[in-house]
Amino acid sequence: MQASVSIWEEESFFAPQDFVIAGSGLVGLWTALEIRSKYPRAKITIIEKDSIPRGASTRNAGFACFGSPTEMLHDAALLGEDKMWELVEMRYRGIKKIRKTFADKKIDFDKCGGYECFIKEKQHIENIAGRLSSLNKGLKAITGKKTNFVFANEKISDFNFTGFDSMIENRHEGGLHSGKLVQALIRKVLKADVQIISGKEILGWNDDGKKVAIDTAKFQFKTGKLVVCTNALSQKLLPTCNIKPVRGQILLTAPIKNLKMKGTFHYDEGFYYFRNLGEKILIGGARNSSFEAEETAEMVTTEGIQQTLEQFVKSHIKTSSPVVVTHRWSGIMGLTTTRLPMIEQVSNNITAVVACNGMGVAISPIIAEKVAGIL
């Protein structure tokens, strides 16, 4: 996209729109597709402040999971069982929709299974084991599978893990390449005649009840409806929304010969998450070692968290060669106190769709359906 637009292009390029979506991440892209499906002739534009989406959508670990046992039990205690199951169903349906929309090969989807690891002296595995039957019963109503969670302790040695006492497997989960998913969505959105304008930061807006005037540094857009899909980075535009930005740090290793682990893994209620990318190890999290410092929108890595992640790999994954870190990055998640995504009417013609609570890959297709349904 060129930095400047000629007077001949301006009339069509910045013409009044029916819908403008702020943010070209997963929620914004899925929302554009759902609006196009509902309104085939509408003029739809996505405005992205960067050259490419740089939020959590492209900077996550690529987990296609719908809930580990401890996460589900935590959510049930916090939200009540009905809301917990609602969240799980959204994630499961979202993953199904992703795979229905795109071929597995196009987004590197790998149904490798999801696992939760436990250390007996730190976690009450007996209590969790006693709840697996009820969790499987609830999941059957969503997945149609009689058994979702099973103990897989024998795989601890198969994966060359050390220091874990128990492991629970969910064979119906997997991983994907979130960057390739975003690229595939962008191609599909453009094919659906949705305009994407990159490199334009929205500075503010005015809703007069009939139209929304959107201000950028050099131009003003007018639209019938504005949908704000900027997730954790929404505080600047939506200062009254109760969203907490939280940083998630990740590292990636060089290829490790004869790496045995295969799957997506969680530990410590999901505060640690790791997976294999071929013969590489990707690991993220550890923010529970520094909660306050990680409540930030600053997209950098820190020495303390990165060292904690490296030490976790050394303590729990046996490798045949030294572990060499080649990449480090961070992404910013948007959290709400309820763990539920926020869909809020800001004014007559402005809707905020933010705070995926670290579950954006799985739930964004379903959030988009809900948004299109109320516009």
What structural domains and CATH numbers belong to the chain? 7-59+179-232+339-374 (3.50.50.60), 91-174 (no CATH), 244-335 (3.30.9.10)
User: Closest Cα to residue 138, out of 67, 199, 79?
Assistant: 67
Strand partners, 276: 281
Say if residues 14 and 219 touch (Cβ distance below 8 Å): yes
pLDDT on residue 133: 95
pLDDT at 55 over 90: no
Say if residues 61 and 275 touch (Cβ distance below 8 Å): yes
Helix (H) or strand (E) holding 372: helix 360-374
Q: What is the pTM of this model?
A: 0.93
Q: Give me the mean pLDDT over the 79-100 stretch.
A: 96
Percent of the chain's residues with pLDDT above 90: 78
φ/ψ of residue 274, rounded to 5: -150, 155
Two structure tokens written together for 330? 């961070």
pLDDT digits (tens, 9 = 90+) for 224-266: 999 999 887 777 788 777 888 999 999 999 999 999 999 999 9
Least confident piece of the model among 40-44, 137-141, 243-247, 368-372:
243-247
Using CA atoms, how far apart are residues 352 and 22, in angstroms rounded to an integer?
A: 9
Percent of the chain's residues with pLDDT above 70: 97
Give the torsion through C-alpha atoms of 60, 62, 67, 72, to 10 deg.
Answer: -10
pLDDT on residue 9: 46
Using CA atoms, how far apart are residues 220 and 65, in angstroms rounded to an integer?
A: 40
The residue ranking higher by pLDDT, 54 or 63, is: 63
